[in-house]
């Protein structure tokens, strides 16, 4: 077999294979992660980053290599986690830029594309360190440029051989690796990407390898570098905006706030990674330049303690966090938020005849909204996850966390909480703590997000559950529907009452009370007046004097409502944090096209 060029489909298959193989190395990479901080998260961060790339590419069908490379780079930026994810993103941005407008890339000029990726990464780093992923990337690019072949098959064998040799030399360049007796985790992750492509080319199955003995106790042997590591929180953020500052400007502004600083500016997206003691100062600055879409601050010292306990206990699956968060797809959290915080989501089910679709997997909210608009008379049924579905989520989450906290769809609305509880009693991989959100959609989502933030600060699980429950009593969600048809079909509203409301053009405003029960809040005549009525209802529940409040705007096929609602909330509450999302199919099927709502979470 000879492969002289890569076009769009070939590059897509190669990158997906690379990402799938690298994800299988997650646990092994976590166990050897001792640089820049021994917090055991490189494998997880790389897995989440490449999963975002693979998810984006699986549905892409384009003949041009440039389009596929651009999509991979964009997905990497959006899904980047940790130092390794950010560095891989910069590399892919340079790689894709070098392939701009190209339909194919040939084996004899593939090295130029790799070199462009390395140059992009080197220019982005404040203080490049040898013995890391950068070194192995550079050596791989050199090997590609020095190879004398027009065939990708021997070329990738050559690249993998040289990358492995470069990886083996990383302990010679970094004393902390030599002390721990391991190679660099990020660099090993990059090698696994190359190996995944080689497996594809050779026709080998893309499967996870057995964990190697190397590094089982590496994290237990390496002390947290109190003197060298001045900062405690691994801080990351994603900012959106049409007038974002240049990459260098952001770097200059944040340089004094910490170290391990990596900044990516790609179009209308800005991604930041920094180790700091003042994450809120970082977030405040980023809010001043655009819309802060996601942000997190993880206590690296707490992570190191968690993986140290697991290492000393001889656990093969090395937990890297004290707590991992689990939820279900009714939370309506955007994918970028879920990826940023490593939240495990159990899908609810949509049943259409003989077909069962998992929410967010076989069908997305946007796709279902389109279907709902085209076929308004078709009403699929909905189903809660089975206990087995939650068991699977718990098992996956326990790979990352010593203990689990689940924030689940309200027990007054669904049997989902019962399934989560049944699974909790049968699960023995880690202790599971459950919080009843007494809510749905972005009310539940905001509570899940709060739980994730507390977990990243190493808050004990019982305290997370207590705080989520306290906040829930001060929080809620209000929503309105455009027509009563779906509520009638789902049995939520009687036909006579709905007919009267429709004739009078009444738009009901409904809400979830503190017990999680739907109750009428108000009404308005006509679509124009319902906005004012909703804002008045929000203000009655959230006084402008509150110090800490977050909002969520959710809709069913009416994206145009989001910006007016956002502007109205900002006029009343200032530059507060807001999430926006299309409603999950399981919720949308009961509300119908044109429904929308405002969730609020008061943290005072």
Q: Is residue 367 part of a domain?
A: no
pLDDT of 135 over the 80 cut: yes
Q: Is 328 within the bounds of a domain? A: yes
463 and 487 together in one domain: no
Domain end call among 221, 253, 288: 221
Give the span between the Cα atoms of 505 and 212, in whole angstroms.
67
Which residue bears the tokens 């502007």? 567
Query: Do both 43 and 134 map to the same domain?
Result: yes
| Cis peptide upstream of residue 14 (ω within 30 degrees of 0) | no
- What's the burial of 523, exposed, middle or buried (CB within 10 Å: 0-12/13-18/19+)? middle
Q: Averaging pLDDT over each range in 191-200, 206-215, 221-230, which range is the top one?
A: 191-200
What's the token pair of residue 319? 């937990």
Question: How many angstroms separate the first and last alpha carbons of the chain?
Answer: 65
Shared domain for 566 and 515, answered yes or no, is yes
- Tell how many helices (H) and how many strands (E) occur in the chain: 26, 19
Provide the token pair at 555: 């809709």
**In-domain check, residue 305:** no
Q: What is the pLDDT of residues 105-121, one digit of tens each?
A: 999 999 999 999 999 99
Residues 55 and 189 in one domain: yes
214: domain CATH number?
A: 1.25.40.340
Identify the burial level of 406 via C-beta atoms within 10 angstroms of its C-beta, where 0-12 means exposed, 13-18 middle and 19 or more buried: buried
User: For residue 214, is it within any domain?
Assistant: yes
| Nearby residues of 597 by Cβ (< 8 Å), 6 or more positions away | 441, 442, 477, 478, 479, 480, 553, 554, 555, 583
Separation of alpha carbons 437 and 3, rounded Å: 54
Phi, psi of 436, deg, nearest 5: -80, 115
Q: What are phi and psi of 575, to 5 degrees?
A: -85, 70
Whole-number pLDDT of residue 500: 39
List C-alpha distances in Å: 264 to 97, 232, 312, 349, 471. 14, 22, 37, 37, 35
148 and 190 housed in the same domain: yes
Distances in Å between the Cα of 560 and the Cα atoms of 209, 239, 368, 509, 596 are 48, 21, 17, 19, 11
More confident residue, 186 or 320: 186
Q: Which residue has the tokens 């915080």?
A: 341
3-state secondary structure of 321: strand
Answer yes or no: is 215 within a domain.
Answer: yes
**Amino acid 374: pLDDT:** 83
Q: Quick one: average pLDDT of 213-235?
A: 63
Co-location of 465 and 484 in the same domain: no
- Is pLDDT larger for residue 236 or for residue 43? 236
Indicate if the pLDDT at residue 22 is higher than 80.
Answer: yes
Is the model's pLDDT at 188 over the cut of 80? yes
CA distances from residue 334 to 60, 330, 366, 578 in whole angstroms, order as listed: 21, 11, 12, 12
Give the tokens for residue 329: 């797809």
Q: How far is residue 14 from each of residues 11, 71, 198, 251, measured CA to CA in Å?
A: 5, 14, 9, 33
Give the end of a domain, one of 472, 498, 515. 472
Residue 447 to residue 455: CA distance in whole angstroms: 12
Instruction: Give the residue numbers spanning the domain of 338.
Output: 319-348+384-472
Indicate the average pLDDT of the chain: 89
Q: Are residues 329 and 271 in the same domain?
A: no
pLDDT at 429 (0 to 100): 87
Reported residue count of the chain is: 604
**What is residue 63's predicted lDDT score, i.e. its pLDDT?**
95
Q: Are residues 36 and 95 in the same domain?
A: yes
pLDDT exceeding 70 applies to what percent of the chain? 89
Q: How many domains does the chain have?
A: 4
Confirm whether 364 is domain-assigned: no
When pLDDT is averaged across residues 311-333 and rounded to a whole number, the result is 77
Q: Look at residue 514 and tell me if it is in a domain.
A: yes
Choose among 288, 366, 338: nearest CA to 442. Answer: 338
Q: With 60 as the cut, is the pLDDT of residue 490 above it?
A: no
Q: Kindly report the CATH number assigned to the domain that includes residue 394.
A: 3.40.50.10440
Per the domain annotation, does 238 fall within a domain? yes
Residues 145 and 277 in one domain: no
Looking at the fold, whether 154 and 10 belong to one and the same domain comes out as yes
Give me the CATH number covering residue 242: 3.30.70
Same domain, 340 and 237: no
Task: Name the domain boundary from 160, 191, 221.
Answer: 221
Spatial contact of 326 and 441, defined as CB atoms under 8 Å apart: no
């Amino acid at each position: 077999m000879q492969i002289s060029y890569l076009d769009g489909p070939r590059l897509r298959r190669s990158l997906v294979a690379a990402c799938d193989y690298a994800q299988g190395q997650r646990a092994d990479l976590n166990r050897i992660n001792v640089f820049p901080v021994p917090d055991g998260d490189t494998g997880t961060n790389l897995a989440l980053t490449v999963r975002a790339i693979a998810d984006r590419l699986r549905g892409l069908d384009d003949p041009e290599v440039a389009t596929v490379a651009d999509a991979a780079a964009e997905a990497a930026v959006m899904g980047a986690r940790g130092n390794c994810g950010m560095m891989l993103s910069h590399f892919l941005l340079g790689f894709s830029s070098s392939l701009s407008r190209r339909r194919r890339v040939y084996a004899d000029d593939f090295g130029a594309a790799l070199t462009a990726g390395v140059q992009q990464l080197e220019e982005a780093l404040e203080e490049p360190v040898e013995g890391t992923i950068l070194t192995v990337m550079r050596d791989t690019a050199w090997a590609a440029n020095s190879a004398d072949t027009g065939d990708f098959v021997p070329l990738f064998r050559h690249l993998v051989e040289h990358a492995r040799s470069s990886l083996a030399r990383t302990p010679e360049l970094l004393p902390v690796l030599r002390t721990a007796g391991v190679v660099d985790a990020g660099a090993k992750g990059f090698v696994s990407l190359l190996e995944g492509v080689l497996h594809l080319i050779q026709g080998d199955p893309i499967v996870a390898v057995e964990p190697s003995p190397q590094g089982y106790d590496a994290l237990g042997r390496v002390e947290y570098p109190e003197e060298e590591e001045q900062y405690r929180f691994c801080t990351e953020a994603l900012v959106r905006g049409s007038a974002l500052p240049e990459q260098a400007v952001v770097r200059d502004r944040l340089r004094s706030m910490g170290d391990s600083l990596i900044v990516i500016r790609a179009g209308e997206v800005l991604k930041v990674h920094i180790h700091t003691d003042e994450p809120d100062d970082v977030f405040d600055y980023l809010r001043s330049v655009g819309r802060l879409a996601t942000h997190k601050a993880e206590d690296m010292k707490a992570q190191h303690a968690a993986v140290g306990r697991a290492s000393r206990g001889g656990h093969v699956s090395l937990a890297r966090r004290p707590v991992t968060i689990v939820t279900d797809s009714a939370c309506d959290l955007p994918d970028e938020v879920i990826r940023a915080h490593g939240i495990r989501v159990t899908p609810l089910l949509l049943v259409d005849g003989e077909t069962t679709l998992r929410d967010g997997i076989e069908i997305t909210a946007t796709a279902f909204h389109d279907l709902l608009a085209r076929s308004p008379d078709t009403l699929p049924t909905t189903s809660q996850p089975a206990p087995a579905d939650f068991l699977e989520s718990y098992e996956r989450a326990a790979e990352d966390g010593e203990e689990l906290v689940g924030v689940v769809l309200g027990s007054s609305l669904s049997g989902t909480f019962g399934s989560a509880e049944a699974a909790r009693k049968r699960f023995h991989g880690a202790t599971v703590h459950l919080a009843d959100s007494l809510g749905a959609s972005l009310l539940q989502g905001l509570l899940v997000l709060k739980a994730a933030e507390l977990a990243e600060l190493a808050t004990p699980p019982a305290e997370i559950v207590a705080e989520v429950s306290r906040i829930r009593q001060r929080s809620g969600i209000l929503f309105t529907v455009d027509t009563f048809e779906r509520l009638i079909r789902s049995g939520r509203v009687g036909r006579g009452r709905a007919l009267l409301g429709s004739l009078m053009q009444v738009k009901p405003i409904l809400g979830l009370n503190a017990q999680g029960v739907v109750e009428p809040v108000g009404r308005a005549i006509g679509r124009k007046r319902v906005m004012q009525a909703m804002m008045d209802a929000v203000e009655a529940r959230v006084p402008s004097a509150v110090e800490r409040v977050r909002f969520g705007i959710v809709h069913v096929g009416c994206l145009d409502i989001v910006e007016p609602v956002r502007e109205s909330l900002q006029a009343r509450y200032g530059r507060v944090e807001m999430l926006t999302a299309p409603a999950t199919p399981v919720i949308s099927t009961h509300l119908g096209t044109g429904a929308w709502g405002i969730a609020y979470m008061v943290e005072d």
